[in-house]
Amino acid sequence: MAREYPISKIRNIGIMAHIDAGKTTVSERVLFYSGKTHKMGEVHDGGATMDWMAQERERGITITSAATSTEWRGHSISLIDTPGHVDFTVEVERSLRVLDGAIALFCAVAGVQPQSEKVWLQSEKYSVPKIAFVNKMDRVGADFFTVVQEIQEEFQANAVPVVVPIGQEEQFGGIIDLIHMKAVLYDETSFGQYFHEEDIPAELMEVAEKWRANLVEKCAEQDDALLEKFLEGEDLTVDEIWSILRKATVSRRVVPVYCGSAFKNKGIQRLLDGVVHLLPAPNEIPPIICATDETQQKRREPSDTDPFSALAFKIVADKHMGKLTYIRIYSGTLKSGSSVLNSTRDKPQRVGRILRMHANRQEALEDAHAGDIVAVVGLGDTKTGDTLCDKGHPIHLEAIEFPAPVISISIKPKAQADNEKLGEALMRLADEDPTFIVNYDQETAETIISGMGELHLEIIVDRIKREFNVNADVGRPEVAYRETATRNAEGAYKHVKQSGGRGQYAHVVLVLEPMDPGSGFEFVNKIVGGRIPSEFIPSVEKGIIQAMTSGPYAGYPVVDMRVQLVDGSAHDVDSSDFAFQEAGRAGFKELFMKSNPELLEPVMSVEAVTPEEFMGPVSSSICQRRGRIESMDSIKGNKLIRGMVPLSEMFGYSNALRTLTQGRASFSMHFEHYEAVPFALAEQIVTKRREENKVR
């Protein structure tokens, strides 16, 4: 079946922003004005199309990225609405990995907020071109030009307004289109569906001409011929502005800025024009080049004629359809019923059904083409980040990196009969979310679940109850501590057992060295002369890794270590894989305790915004939680306090902050790095953990 739209008429975009900037409200207006829906849903009344989960509608926040598609001016737009809460950063990460462009949303009052910076950096990591939309121009304190300046300063971005507001706050009435030099006014009775253009009022002409000159100058700077024309005093035509602005946006040299009020139904149509005019089509992004070895590279052009290649970026457990795998097709064509290769796991996969998604509703397709984002039923062995490709033309695409969880709780079913159901629920949810990790603690006989924050795990537990009908008891939150060494240690360990018949013998000499934070684990084999047979070297490493998963100091994972195997010996009969694993495991544990081990804890970057009269109590509350104040700034009549605080001290902080400030302050935080726990506190944590393990 031929593709419905030529690839040059496809736009794959996402909406990204800080929490409560209006992403879902903008998405609802996009769907309404483009004719995809006939009623605008609202976040506050739980009627938003894109917030379809029960937890999203109750809390008024986006939890999972929702995909849909619509049409605007002859273009097909695949739209992904991403969460703004830091606990669900995985949804932003995997969406940006597969998108060609993004709308960066900013609140006209708050401007560049902490999570705005986080998602902007994520988009830069994947070289995603962006247009900016300054939302909530009708709110008290709205200031379009200040937000533009903040974008320029905070991100070092070449932010260029292509529209400017007509009034602001309660007087916000519409926008001035600087490309066409027209005032755009919206019909309130039609929910903004209808608007009209008129000449720019005389009192606004000076501002319009100033920013039109800025736009033309920024465009001219991107092209020598146009720059010469501009310097000679000639104006650029509308087509010339669109053309050069598009090239500059796609190459990320310019960030066009729009504005409006999604809730008051103003400015969205011009934003959609910007999407189709300025953001890239799939065939405008660079071809995929993957190195299979040092001498050979494989290239995939974004076209239907190249061999099939796609990336699985999201898994969803649908109660009606089963496992849905969202994929972005980079080249070739995928047909329903065909077989493909999961090159990441070297497993063939059969494509059952191909679906175009509209939030949680589906439309069946016979085939999908290069540039399409679709969901597929039937890929049982495929996980997030896996590459799917033509069996005759294997290729590995760049996978997606996910942050490590920082908080854990224990979980068990209230009824013993629900053990199996709980296990199945946890397995399916872990399949969906790579930042949700499930472990079984052998020492305590407990199931431990780990995630990105309190809200993340709260949502997981709520889903287990609602979607899988399992009532569960959860333990108190536990911080994901780590252990590491602080000095070198060297020693030998002999594993010798004789119990009649064949015995066990393994002898290793190890050297432990601490490494820089974030370095991970490195195993170095320095055995010469066959002192230990080569087939047993991996066994030693395997035993060391086993020991590192539950460190000897306090039972937490060991990180940032180099272990050298420098000497040892073996027995012709009694040495075995198991014996050398045991020697590596026990030898590492014994030696690690001689390396002056220390406990590491996750430290969060915290930003609190508070009215000035509460600045003292808020600052004190951060310091009382072992926090360090990094800076204090004024921001639109409030104070912005930035600090570093250990995660273990931040549990319940939202309630404490509300109490201190009469509910007028807010805060956000995200993981920054690991730091050593003060010695006295570390001893308390270690002692308590050992006692808990004894009791269990």
Q: 3-state secondary structure string, 435-479?
A: CCEEEEECCCCEEEEEECCHHHHHHHHHHHHHHHCCCEEECCCEE
Longest dimension (CA), the chain: 103
As beta bridge partners, residue 288 has 300
Percent of the chain residues past pLDDT 90, beyond the cut: 46
Q: For residue 333, what pLDDT band results from cuts at 50, 70 and 90?
A: very high
Q: For residue 190, what pLDDT band results from cuts at 50, 70 and 90?
A: low
Cα 67 from chain centroid (whole Å): 15
The per-residue pLDDT for 521 is: 92
DSSP for residue 498: -
* Better-scored residue on pLDDT, 20 or 60: 20
The per-residue pLDDT for 55 is: 57
Count of residues making up the chain: 696
Provide mean pLDDT across the span 547-554. Answer: 89
Inter-residue contact 434 to 427 (CB < 8 Å):
no
Residue 252 backbone phi and psi in degrees, to 5: 65, 30
Res 667 pLDDT > 90: no
* Better-scored residue on pLDDT, 520 or 40: 520
By C-alpha distance, which of 677, 680, 621, 679 is closest to 648?
Answer: 677
Q: Residue 551: count other Cβ atoms within 10 Å of its Cβ.
A: 24
The per-residue pLDDT for 46 is: 44
Of the listed ranges 39-48, 110-119, 206-215, the least confidently predicted one is: 39-48
- Give the three-state DSSP class for 296: coil
E strand residue ranges, 73-181:
75-81, 101-107, 130-135, 159-161, 163-166, 174-177
The per-residue pLDDT for 638 is: 80
Pairwise CA distance, residues 221 & 328, whole Å = 35
Would you report the helix, strand and coil content of the chain in percent, each value rounded to 5? 30, 30, 35
Rg (the chain; Cα; Å): 29
Provide mean pLDDT across the span 577-597. Answer: 94
- Cα angle for residues 687, 689, 693 (degrees, 5° grid): 115
Inter-residue contact 241 to 218 (CB < 8 Å):
no
The per-residue pLDDT for 44 is: 42
Res 680 pLDDT > 70: yes
**Would you tell me the crossing angle of helices 537-549 and 577-592 to the nearest 10 degrees?**
50
Q: For residue 21, what pLDDT band results from cuts at 50, 70 and 90?
A: confident
The per-residue pLDDT for 93 is: 85
As beta bridge partners, residue 166 has 174
Pairwise CA distance, residues 278 & 133, whole Å = 13
* Better-scored residue on pLDDT, 11 or 396: 11
Q: For residue 386, what pLDDT band results from cuts at 50, 70 and 90?
A: very high
Give the H/E segment covering residue 408: strand 407-413
The per-residue pLDDT for 118 is: 79
- Give the three-state DSSP class for 431: helix
Provide mean pLDDT across the span 560-566. Answer: 93
The per-residue pLDDT for 35 is: 82
For the chain, the average pLDDT equals: 86
The predicted-structure confidence for 486-498, as pLDDT tens digits, reads as follows: 999 999 999 998 7
The predicted-structure confidence for 448-483, as pLDDT tens digits, reads as follows: 898 877 788 888 998 899 888 999 988 877 788 899
Residue 221 backbone phi and psi in degrees, to 5: -65, -20
Q: For residue 183, what pLDDT band results from cuts at 50, 70 and 90?
A: very high
Show the tokens assigned to 200.
């720019």
Q: For residue 81, what pLDDT band results from cuts at 50, 70 and 90?
A: confident
Pairwise CA distance, residues 25 & 103, whole Å = 13
Pairwise CA distance, residues 596 & 499, whole Å = 36
Pairwise CA distance, residues 563 & 93, whole Å = 33
Res 595 pLDDT > 80: yes
Provide mean pLDDT across the span 16-45. Answer: 76
Residue 275 backbone phi and psi in degrees, to 5: -60, -50
By C-alpha distance, which of 258, 263, 274 is closest to 77?
Answer: 274
* Better-scored residue on pLDDT, 623 or 295: 623
Provide mean pLDDT across the span 624-629. Answer: 93
The per-residue pLDDT for 177 is: 96
The per-residue pLDDT for 45 is: 46
- Give the three-state DSSP class for 420: helix
* Better-scored residue on pLDDT, 452 or 644: 644
* Better-scored residue on pLDDT, 564 or 45: 564
Provide mean pLDDT across the span 267-287. Answer: 93
- Cα angle for residues 291, 292, 298 (degrees, 5° grid): 60
Give the H/E segment covering residue 387: strand 387-389
As beta bridge partners, residue 70 has 77
The per-residue pLDDT for 24 is: 81
Q: Where are the alpha helices (DSSP H) in 593-650?
A: 615-624
Measured torsion, CA atoms of residues 686, 691, 695, 696, in degrees rounded to the nearest 10: 10
E strand residue ranges, 224-265:
255-259
Residue that has been written with the tokens 């924050």 in this structure: 453
The per-residue pLDDT for 51 is: 46
Res 358 pLDDT > 90: no
The per-residue pLDDT for 618 is: 93
Q: Residue 352: count other Cβ atoms within 10 Å of its Cβ.
A: 16
The predicted-structure confidence for 197-241, as pLDDT tens digits, reads as follows: 999 999 999 999 999 999 988 988 888 888 787 777 777 888 999
